[in-house]
A and B are shown apart, each in its own frame.
Chain A
Amino acid sequence: MIVVTAAACTHTDVVAPTKTMPPSFAVYVPPPGEGGVVCTGYLKGRAFGGPAGYIDYGYLCETALDIISPPLQAVYEDGHTGPYDLTVEFSRPVAHLVVMPVDIWNCGADPGSITAYAPSGASVTLPFTADESDCGVLHEEHNVYYYGDGTLPQSLVIPGLDSVSRVVIRPTSVMSWFSSVFYPDRVVTIEGFVGTVYLLSFREQVTTASVTLFKAQGPNDGGSFTTRSGENKLSLAAGVTPATLAPTIRWEIVDDPADAVVTFEPNGVTPTFGSNVEAFVPTQDAGRWAAVPHPGSLNQKSLALRVTAAIDASGTLVRSAPAIVRQDEIDTIREEYIELGVAQGVPGRGQFGASATNKGDYTVAVINPGFNSLFAALQIAVQPLSLVVNSGYRNPVHNAYHVDKGRGSGAVLDSWHQYGCGDDIQTFPVLPDFPTAAQLAAAQSYWDAVADEALSLGFEVEPRDYDPQKPHSFSGVGHVHIELRCPLAP
């Protein structure tokens, strides 16, 4: 601002503007219409959420406003060489555009105009208007006088176009002028400047964004997983529209609320955002198994996580349809070995199959061909006796929590029953609670016959009879427990 001081001049020497206008107070008009979010931005830069005066600088709108001509210095013209038309493009079409000049213009000057262009090329040109009610108005305060010579520009609503992609602003014609202030002893003349500062408000459509999960799976067959190192890595992938948002995809992995299992959730994903991430299923609470009944359902046993991908679309969180990453039956069984820490380790997935001697909680059991072949040899060797297995495969939870100690052979933590390598063979006659001597002798002979052949073939066998020093140190005559140390899964 330049201040020029002149003497011997009073306020009556100034020819005041004579045009008077009714007052108008439409300095700011919010974008008309409904929907979307209100965005406001100065030239040039990114629009922020919120109307003028309440701009939320923390929330970025999608749209950027870019002055493409003249070069950037014209944003604030010098008042002597301008005005220059400003051509502004929006990074994406906007609707309900309102342009608010942020300045004081000179009374009598041409307020300028704006031409708005739709993406189709259609355009509309509208003049700016200004509140001239102060023009020529004498102001006096403490014996200091001046005449109003500025107008208050009005917000301009751009009608007639559904969307606008570009505007050309023709600024007011007078970019600087002199104003005088009359003091009792002097006159001060001030040169005022007009800036080409415009505030553009519009309604930004909520991004039509979508997220689609492409992949949410563990490393095992069918996308299953366990908590064992190497098998607990979930691979997650999603696609997003628009694709530019892919780096911002965030992931939500929570316990599947639809089942009866509490699955501990991964501690975040790696990387934190993006379309392709990994998550690691943590160690679970082994205590959960104690409450699972026999045989129970997979809904009570299988670990499962609900995975959702999400993006922030202009302040609205858009989520994908959720995907459930769930252990299949085989990995659910294998999880028992992991969580119960069975000494011999975790059988491989390929070791499971259907078994006629499966007494566990699942439809599949660990199959050990070596054991089964030897068992077949045993069956042949003891002919015409016919072997009946009253307890074959037991999954670890069944072995640890369900085996009826009053009836079965009792739980042994590292039992080979858990590897398809242990069978309890029923002896005959099945003894009543109080057998006769003949019945007992017959059952003992049956036991001896089966055990004899089993030992000969290479099975290991529990002793039959009572050791006085160790109350429960034998299988009893009711069954022959045979087992093998089977090859373990790598």
Chain B
Amino acid sequence: MTRISLGSALGLLLAVPVGASGQNVDSLVGVLASPSVYARAQAVARLNLVPLQSLPSGARQALVQLLEREATGQVSYGETTGADDETYSEYVIDLTRGVLRLQDVSAVRGIAFLGIETSRAAQEFIAARGAAAIPVLDEVWTSKERARPAIITTWGYTLASTTNGLAPEDRAALLGRIIQAVAAYPIPAARAVRTASLFTLLIPLRQISDTATDPAVKTRLIAAAAELAPRMAAASATDVLAQLAAVIAGICRGASGAHQGTCASIQSLVTDAQRHIAAGRTNAAHSVLSALQQRAQAALSDGTLTALEETLVVENARLADSKL
């Protein structure tokens, strides 16, 4: 185990003054390979001060590669550090920050595996990659449980993005993942709901907050509901049903058996309601929305929808009905 003192690490870097000269940048890039996290941290901090236009491609590559190697456990961690020494975690923030400013698509893995826990900018970087980043996030989800809250939040940004070209099936997949995450990860799920403006989840979130005993969770859900309420109020019946259709697509993605039957039924009813509203057939729409509520309640009884899913369908159908 290598033990490098604070003083020697400091001394190493003091010899490398902050500046933008090529020689200094090259020296700093060399320090990125140091076995000392203190030295690497100092080198990254200094490289982050070099104006982007002065950062040569070699330095950019070195930063991207270092983040990915850190993210995937390829850099040894031989330091003896204090129990609460946060050098590494602040270094990761710095390294992520340094890589993000490059806006290099090759940094997706490093950002996804390590950076998304540290900043919204990192989460939005991944979100901007759209469908291309979803498999990487799935990989992180499986291998790194502690990153799941950040992944859920990132899903929200991915849905909210208007420029990432996300296909409807990918959108449905993310919606389904977010709804599934509400129970186990209510705080990041609420954040994703807010970010993606999923006002159709307003009533389910309210119901969960009503019964939540953890004050921190409760306050976050209340905050999310407070943010969604005016959006819901402003939404038309058409808006509600459009988002409900997308949410149901997420719930029903990959459904099979009885679940598939329920999904087909409620999706069909939503489509019918949208069609009636579009044609101005209000009474018909009322009828269909009533049927949709009954169908969802039945699905809860037969176990093909969860309580959350049932609430989501029933309450939004009722809401859309009230807006007609």
Please report A residues at the B interface, Cβ cutoff 8 Å: 340-341, 343-345, 381-385, 400, 405-416, 441-442, 445-446, 448-449, 452-453, 455-467, 469-476, 481, 483, 485, 488
B146 at the interface (CB under 8 A from A): yes
**Residues of A contacting B81 in the complex (Cβ-Cβ under 8 angstroms):** 410, 471-472
Q: How far is the CA of A384 from the CA of B13 in the complex (A)?
A: 44
Shortest CB distance B169–A (Å)? 28
**Residues of A contacting B18 in the complex (Cβ-Cβ under 8 angstroms):** 343, 345
Shortest CB distance A365–B (Å)? 19
In contact, A414 and B42 (Cβ under 8 angstroms) = yes
In contact, B153 and A407 (Cβ under 8 angstroms) = no
Can you name the residue of chain A whose Cβ is closest to the Cβ of B114? A463
Chain B: residues with Cβ within 8 Å of the partner, total of 54
B234 at the interface (CB under 8 A from A): no
Can you name the residue of chain B whose Cβ is closest to the Cβ of A427? B216
In contact, B120 and A455 (Cβ under 8 angstroms) = yes
In contact, A413 and B123 (Cβ under 8 angstroms) = no
B92 at the interface (CB under 8 A from A): yes
In contact, B85 and A385 (Cβ under 8 angstroms) = no
Q: How far is the CA of A336 from the CA of B308 in the complex (A)?
A: 57
In contact, A341 and B13 (Cβ under 8 angstroms) = yes
Q: How far is the CA of A455 from the CA of B93 in the complex (A)?
A: 12
**Residues of A contacting B214 in the complex (Cβ-Cβ under 8 angstroms):** 441-442, 445
In contact, A472 and B83 (Cβ under 8 angstroms) = yes
Shortest CB distance B99–A (Å)? 13
In contact, B84 and A405 (Cβ under 8 angstroms) = yes
Among B21-63, those with CB < 8 Å from A are 38, 41-42, 45-46, 48-49
Besides the known contacts A406-B82, A462-B86, A471-B81, 12 further A-B residue pairs in the complex with CB atoms under 8 A apart:
A343-B18, A410-B81, A410-B84, A410-B87, A412-B85, A413-B6, A414-B94, A445-B217, A448-B216, A455-B119, A472-B82, A472-B84
In contact, B123 and A455 (Cβ under 8 angstroms) = yes
In contact, A452 and B191 (Cβ under 8 angstroms) = yes
Q: Identify 8 residue pairs between A and B in the complex whose beta-carbon atoms are under 8 Å apart, listed by A's number.
A: A343-B46, A410-B85, A413-B10, A413-B38, A448-B216, A463-B117, A463-B118, A481-B90
In contact, A455 and B86 (Cβ under 8 angstroms) = no
**Residues of A contacting B219 in the complex (Cβ-Cβ under 8 angstroms):** 382-385, 449
**Residues of B contacting A381 in the complex (Cβ-Cβ under 8 angstroms):** 223
In contact, B216 and A385 (Cβ under 8 angstroms) = yes
Shortest CB distance B68–A (Å)? 14
B88 at the interface (CB under 8 A from A): yes
**Residues of B contacting A441 in the complex (Cβ-Cβ under 8 angstroms):** 214
Instruction: Choose one: B48, B86, B120, B146; the contact of A467 (CB below 8 Å).
Output: B146
> Which DSSP category, helix, strand, loop or mixed, fits chain A's interface?
loop
In contact, B97 and A485 (Cβ under 8 angstroms) = yes
Residue from B73, B89, B93, B147 having most chain A Cβ neighbours under 10 A = B89
B126 at the interface (CB under 8 A from A): no
In contact, B85 and A474 (Cβ under 8 angstroms) = no
Shortest CB distance B55–A (Å)? 16
In contact, A448 and B46 (Cβ under 8 angstroms) = no
In contact, B77 and A442 (Cβ under 8 angstroms) = no
**Residues of B contacting A473 in the complex (Cβ-Cβ under 8 angstroms):** 77, 88-89, 92
Can you name the residue of chain B whose Cβ is closest to the Cβ of A476? B84
In contact, A448 and B120 (Cβ under 8 angstroms) = no
Q: How far is the CA of A407 from the CA of B10 in the complex (A)?
A: 23
In contact, A449 and B45 (Cβ under 8 angstroms) = no
Residue from B88, B92, B120, B216 having most chain A Cβ neighbours under 10 A = B216
**Residues of A contacting B195 in the complex (Cβ-Cβ under 8 angstroms):** 456
In contact, B90 and A412 (Cβ under 8 angstroms) = yes
B130 at the interface (CB under 8 A from A): no
Q: How far is the CA of A407 from the CA of B216 in the complex (A)?
A: 25
Instruction: Choose one: B6, B45, B91, B220; the contact of A452 (CB below 8 Å).
Output: B220
In contact, B120 and A458 (Cβ under 8 angstroms) = yes
Q: How far is the CA of A245 from the CA of B10 in the complex (A)?
A: 50
Shortest CB distance A30–B (Å)? 66
In contact, B191 and A456 (Cβ under 8 angstroms) = yes
In contact, B146 and A464 (Cβ under 8 angstroms) = yes
Q: How far is the CA of A469 from the CA of B75 in the complex (A)?
A: 10
**Residues of A contacting B89 in the complex (Cβ-Cβ under 8 angstroms):** 462-463, 472-475, 481
Known: A413-B6, A475-B89. A462 touches B73 (CB 8 A): no
Shortest CB distance B192–A (Å)? 10
B140 at the interface (CB under 8 A from A): no
Can you name the residue of chain B whose Cβ is closest to the Cβ of A478? B84
In contact, B42 and A448 (Cβ under 8 angstroms) = no
**Residues of B contacting A463 in the complex (Cβ-Cβ under 8 angstroms):** 89, 92, 117-118, 146-147
